[in-house]
Amino acid sequence: MDWTSPLWYASYLIVLIGLSGYGFHRLTIVYLYLKHSRNKPQPKKPFEVLPLVTVQLPVFNEMYVVDRLLDSVAAIDYPKDKLQIQILDDSTDDTVAICAAGAERLRAQGFDAEHIHRTDRTGFKAGALENGTKFAKGDYLFILDADFVPNPDVLQKTIHFFSDDRIGMIQTRWGHLNRTFNVLTRIQAMFLDGHLELEQTARNRSGRFFTFNGTAGIWRKCCIADAGGWEHDTLTEDMDLSYRAQLKGWRFIFLNDVETPAELPVDMDGFKSQQHRWTKGSIQVCKKVLPAIWRSNVPLPVKLEATAHLTSNFAYLMLICLCFLIYPNQHGVNHLGPIGYYVVNGSIFFFSSVSVAMFYFMSQKALRPGSWWKEIPYLPLLLALGIGMSISNAKAVLEAIFNHQTAFIRTPKYGDQQKKTDWKKSSYKAMKTLTPVVELLFAFFFLFVVVEAAMNGNWASTILLLPFPVGFFYTSLSSLARLLPQGRAETQIVSRNDP
């Protein structure tokens, strides 16, 4: 094959320029974050009389964490006569009995608590929330997933923002209960910190659209109705509803100083299934709402930011293309000349790689001013994991583009069981697929590319390409290890009808 063809090099540059565009967007987020760092939102005025709040707890097969959730909700500092607690239970295992007993326990403590169990799981989480809202007594709905543990002061710090009638939703920042459990949870925490601390704060304070994260947030009930209610034609119903509500003129507020802790997936399969769902859902929402955004009267910067946000996961397709173009580029001819080569490739490297590292470094500096340096050694692994996840997430993008129906895979959570040596024998596991085998093949291929570059004395390429085999070996071997028999553990898979 003729690796000297300009077509290979042109394709390589086009893909890298595309990735650099999303890297430049990250730098824009950092700029907006710093520019508006002092614009901390404040309530218009405090409520003279606290309003009634309905706490909605969507649950599906969460036997290890649901009691912890109910205990933390019972400890919230808010008048009992101003709280309604709905356990929206779609479970098919022992969680049903645990939820029923938990609701009875809350009622014995003086709470207005209800256990709503559905056997028809139409709409899944969105369907459960839609069904629960029909019976919600409060004008404000505080939504918590089963693995979250709200702090007692969460409502006191958030509810007063609704004294402004224009506010439709308040989102708090996720914390991480098990951040230091293993290397994977540390890297996940950094991923989420970048999104929650930098992206959400920058978008909100600069007047851009930002989205409800699916949990740890409070909605004004009439805002949901005005936006068309919960719809279940995407895997990310939270993002979908958020854009529809903001297009209706509702304002959202993100409170980065109000933390609501949650549990991170502790194994690679759980992380992959979560990321696959989020990636696929975001592309589904992109297809659904992006045309409406561009038809709206919102300012151009808002439209551009929403476009970058909704299309950002297309970068995984570009990353896969890059994987196939790297080797031809290594054996091709430099068509730009020595100066042009270093100028073009240096610029692309800065915007596609250095910008990403700067983005996550800034999030750690902002959240951990006294200990941010402890997270820096994990930055190379974060970049490698992003590469390793490209196959699974690119598959999710393609499924969304072609409206491919797939199984809905819950993200396993283990609660206190994760501290035990037998947590891997839990009844909850993510679905097993052939993706790790493909990742392993990519890992060996890039190991060959790196070794060849080193043997040819091309040390710059050796160093720059090293994250590729590291990332693919990490994601593949971590998943393949989970394919080994684990007693009687069974995979929890639920069919889902995607659009």
Per-residue pLDDT, averaged over 395-402, amounts to 96
State how far the Cα of 393 lies from the Cα of 57, in Å rounded to an integer.
28
- pLDDT for 64 equals 92
Q: Tell me the DSSP string of 472-492.
A: HHHHHHHHHHHTS--TT----
Tens of pLDDT, residues 230-264: 999 999 999 999 999 999 999 999 999 999 999 99
* Residues 64 and 415 sit within 8 Å (Cβ to Cβ): yes
CA pair distance 202, 307, nearest whole angstrom: 16
Report pLDDT digits (tens) over 277-325: 999 999 999 999 999 999 999 999 999 999 999 999 999 999 999 999 8
- For the segment 126-185, what is each residue's pLDDT rounded down to a tens digit? 999 999 999 999 999 999 999 999 999 999 999 999 999 999 999 999 999 999 999 999
User: For residue 429, is pLDDT > 90?
Assistant: no
C-beta of residue 217 within 8 angstroms of C-beta of residue 136 = no
Which of 76, 70, 213, 94 has its CA nearest to residue 147?
70
The neighbour count for residue 123, using CB atoms within 10 Å, is: 20
Tell whether pTM > 0.85.
Answer: yes
Look at residue 2 in the predicted model and tell me its pLDDT.
53
CATH number of 47-275+285-295: 3.90.550.10
pLDDT at position 261: 97
| Tokens describing residue 228 | 């068309």
Catalytic option among 67, 89, 90, 240: 90
pLDDT score, position 330: 75
Q: Is 238 marked active-site?
A: yes
Name the average pLDDT for the chain: 89
Cα 74 to Cα 228: distance, rounded to the nearest angstrom: 31
Which of 238, 240, 267, 269 is labelled catalytic?
238
The one-letter code for the residue type at 15 is: V
* Whole-number pLDDT of residue 407: 54
Residue 459 has pLDDT above 60, yes or no: yes
193 assigned to active site? no
Nearest of 195, 190, 203, 201 to residue 364 by alpha carbon = 190
For residue range 360-398, list pLDDT tens digits in order.
999 999 998 888 888 889 999 999 999 999 999 999 999
Compute the average pLDDT of residues 340-352.
68
221 vs 41: CA distance, rounded Å: 21
Tell me if 368 sits within 8 A of 378, measured CB to CB: no
CB 318 within 8 A of CB 20: no
Give the pLDDT confidence score for residue 434 in this predicted structure. 85
CA 141, CA 139: separation in Å to the nearest integer?
7
The structural domains of the chain, with segments of one domain joined by +, span: 47-275+285-295
Q: Where are the beta strands (DSSP E) in 251-387?
A: 251-262
What is the C-alpha separation between 123 and 191, in angstroms, rounded? 28
